[in-house]
Amino acid sequence: MSDNEKPKLGMRAPLGVKRTVETGKVKQSFSHGRSNTVVVEVKRRRVLGPAGGGEAAPQQDAATTVIEPPAPPKQDVIPPKPEPKADERRALTPLERREQQDRLLREAEEARMNALEETRRREERARQEATDEERRRSEENRRAEEQRAEEEARRAEEEAKQPPPMPDMQPVISGGAVARPAPPVVADAEDEDEGRPRGNFRPAPGGATAPRRPETARPSRGRQGDDRRQSGKLTVTRALDSDEGGRARSLAALKRAREKDRRAHQMSGPSAKQVRDVVVPEAITVQELANRMAERAADLVKSLFKMGMAVTVTQTIDQDTAELLVTEFGHNIKRVSESDVEIGVVGDADSETDLQPRPPVVTIMGHVDHGKTSLLDALRGTDIVAGEAGGITQHIGAYQVTVKSGEKITFLDTPGHEAFTEMRARGANITDIVVVVVAADDGLMPQTIEAINHTKAANVPMIVAINKADKPGANPQRIREALLQHDVQVEAMGGDTQDVEVSALKKTGLDELIEKILLQAELLELRANPDRAAEGTVVEAKLDKGRGSLATVLVRRGTLRVGDIFVVGAESGKVRALIDDRGQQVKEAGPSVPVEVLGLAGVPHAGDALSVVENEARAREVAAYRAGVLQQKRTTTAPASLESMFSALKDKQAAVEFPVVVKADVQGSVEAINGALNKLSTDEIKVRILHSGAGGITESDVTLAAASGAPIIGFGVRPNAKAREIANRDGVALKYYDVIYDLIDEMREAMAGKLGPERFETVVGRAEVREVFQAGKHGKAAGLRVTEGAIRRNLKARLMRDDVIIYNGAIASLRRFKDDVNEVLAGYECGVTLEGSSDIKAGDFLETYEVEMRARTL
């Protein structure tokens, strides 16, 4: 069969040897079907045989081995599905056609995925083989360099050991004979220093092989040992002395190999993707997330579009959506919360070795006018009562007293009025010991019982001080017995609660009270670490016109110094000055020391925690986060059901709002007034506090009140000239108070007056309709029988049918027989006509009632 003839259908072509490449060539196969033909370089060398042996037989030709890259693996070819026979073909139904299309699509998709996977594997193998080849070549080059260096060192050492050569043509006398010079050695080629190849040695005339004459060292050109021109050349000696028998690769060959590897690396695809740990907060913009992932923002937007979210790079996404993106791009997510800024603000617990004794914090509690402030006056030796309006304490005062023994005690004086419940509770939460003051003449009062409950809730020890024990009619024993009803047993009655009889007016029993306080403090072992960042609690806060925002702070641990940067509640600041309880400036305040702090950015709330931080940026960050949390609490409400929503709307429509603006001298008074006003609210009227704050009345307060028609309540403050002018112009009511009793009473009357008088309705009589008569052309008269009370003509009346009111008006005429009467009593019959209505039937009931308007009270 000739080469041009093709095998018949179904027959296999005959086997034969087909010549693919020419002799002396090797065919290289690459990926993607590429190939190349390389000429094999053949090198022959001869080795000198033994002496007299003549020319050595040539060694076998050594051909350089060409490493062929492995052929790409065969892909799994899906055999085509045999077509059905003609008799099996039939029309496919739409369902079968759809299933066939789905199957074909699946098969095509599987084939495509298999091809992609195979391509990826092939590229991975190619990259691995290129890396191995580069590593092998580097190792070969390193070994060749080492061998070359060793050979040069060995040759230099041998040349140094050889004796100097004898002069030519000079006879040497040895044993009486004249030694002739050895015949010259004839070489087949020139000297190696000329760069030409050297052949094998030929024997000199005479048949013997002449030994090789040592070569004389030629003078070098230029510097000593400068053989840079000879370093890259291949000499006969270097080729023969090589252990591997192969010549070293040239610099050009090395460059070509590196360039080939670089191209193969570029063709193999991009480098391995770097996996990152992405920190994702609760809310983040797409651009910021892309920057943290080191990805293109457009790719993130495209992925979000595929998820069904049409967003831009500046739009904010939540943490869950960000997690989907981070996972899709192959990174690791690290969730963080905004509340993490609070971490580290409050320091860790102190070690036992750093703790030092500190003064006790004692809170004075009790009912109104039971002598709490007078008792503290006696302890301090000052007159605090003169500075309080109405003789009662409106604020929390913090004072430090040095007793005769030299020890210090910090006292907190809390108001006793019920409106200051929260302030009193706050005092119990930051105190070590509570002194409950009870008047011996009044006994236990509601606020006294409340103070006892606060003390128990705070789990602090309590000392009962029975005041006014010197007054006539005082019975301290009755106080001790009354305390048993509230589970308080004094030591005199077998309990563990200390009690002492004192008189703040005559200053008796004070030493015993101080002794009991120090004894209780010794049992508590109160200690704190002064050598750390300060932490404290705001006892009181206010806005001063000349000094700005002020806060009375009780330091709990650490030392607060001038210049410290702190955060307190949602406000931050820097300590500009510290003022003690006697009005003197100090440089620092240690544990249990109350000081007034200047330098706040705003007025904090009483009870907020103060913490010293490392820098202003951290303080502003924490304050901004806390302010955002408070804003979210004010603006968001909990989800409610449909029923509760409608009921809330109904209550809101039914209740009347009473708007007010509250301004007070300190923050504690603001909270107390707000709580008292909210307690005045009822189902009919509710107080709406438009604005409240510490400080004087400003123009913005008056403008806000004028827009809502609300009065301004000033507690211990007054408006400035501009605010007073605007209030007079707009007719805003300014109400000033110094005692909280008067404020609450007047607000209760004002709220009742806004509701107006209360309407009371009283049923006077009830009658049943027996018969209906025609009265005139259009009117009707009803014959009634009075069943209860009396029917009067000048009263309001309503007609009911089946207990449903169908008429509400007045009686036009009332007759008994033919006489007009004003009143018909029970048991009698009468006839009536109604004003503006003729819809009346037998069986209806008529009621007469009267309405009384009374003054409303809350």
Average pLDDT for residues 458-471, to the nearest whole number? Answer: 85
Helical (H) or strand (E) element with 277: strand 277-280
For 583-586, the CB contacts below 8 A with 24+ separation are: none
Q: What percent of the chain has pLDDT over 70?
A: 73
Q: Helices 94-161 and 251-267: crossing angle, nearest 10°?
A: 160
DSSP string, 602-656: S---TT-EEEE-S-HHHHHHHHHHHHHHHHHHHH------HHHHHHHHHHHHHSE
pLDDT at 391 over 60: no
User: Which has more pLDDT, 77 or 374?
Assistant: 374
Take residue 482 and report the two structure tokens written for it.
């009354």
pLDDT of residue 196: 44
- Identify the weakest region by mean pLDDT among 85-94, 239-248, 552-561: 239-248
Break the chain down into helix, strand, coil percent, rounded to 5: 35, 25, 40
Identify the band that residue 77 occupies on the pLDDT scale cut at 50, 70 and 90: very low
Structure tokens at 118: 């195979």
3-state DSSP assignment of residue 158: helix
Neighbours of 355 (CB within 10 A): 16
- Provide mean pLDDT across the span 65-81: 49
pLDDT band at 80 (very low <50, low <70, confident <90, very high): low
665 burial (CB, 10 Å; 0-12 / 13-18 / 19+) is buried
Which residue segments constitute the domains of the chain, with CATH numbers given? 25-41+64-77+98-144+234-267 (no CATH), 277-336 (1.10.10), 360-525 (3.40.50.300), 538-635 (2.40.30.10), 652-755 (3.40.50.10050), 758-854 (2.40.30.10)
**744 pLDDT higher than 70:** yes
List pLDDT tens digits, range 3-52. 455 555 555 555 555 555 566 677 777 777 777 877 766 666 655 555 44
Of 84-93, 273-282, 357-366, the poorest mean pLDDT is in: 84-93
Least confident of 327-336, 417-426, 476-485, 703-712: 417-426
Largest CA distance in the chain: 199
Q: Which two tokens stand for residue 640?
A: 């409610």
Q: Which carries the bigger pLDDT value, residue 350 or residue 78?
A: 350
3-state DSSP assignment of residue 495: coil
Give the pLDDT band of residue 56 (cuts 50, 70, 90): very low
pLDDT tens string 494-503: 888 888 888 8
pLDDT band, residue 186 (cuts 50/70/90): very low
Residue 88 zone, left/alpha/beta (φ > 0; ψ -120 to 50; rest): alpha
804-816 and 712-715: which strand pairing? unpaired
Given a cut of 80, is residue 833 above it in pLDDT?
Answer: yes
Closest of 761, 829, 824, 820 to residue 796, by C-alpha:
761
More confident residue, 399 or 806: 806
pTM value is: 0.49
| Exposure letters 95-121 (e unless 16+ CB within 10 A, then b) | eeeeeeeeeeeeeeeeeeeeeeeeeee
| pLDDT of residue 264 exceeding 60 | yes
Q: What is the pLDDT of residue 266?
A: 67
Report in angstroms the alpha-carbon separations of 566 from 121, 536, 562, 571, 749.
61, 10, 11, 9, 44
Q: Which residue has the higher pLDDT, 11 or 210?
A: 11
Mean pLDDT of 776-797: 86
Measure the N-to-C terminal CA separation of the chain; round to a whole number of Å: 125
**Residue 627 confidence (pLDDT) above 80:** yes
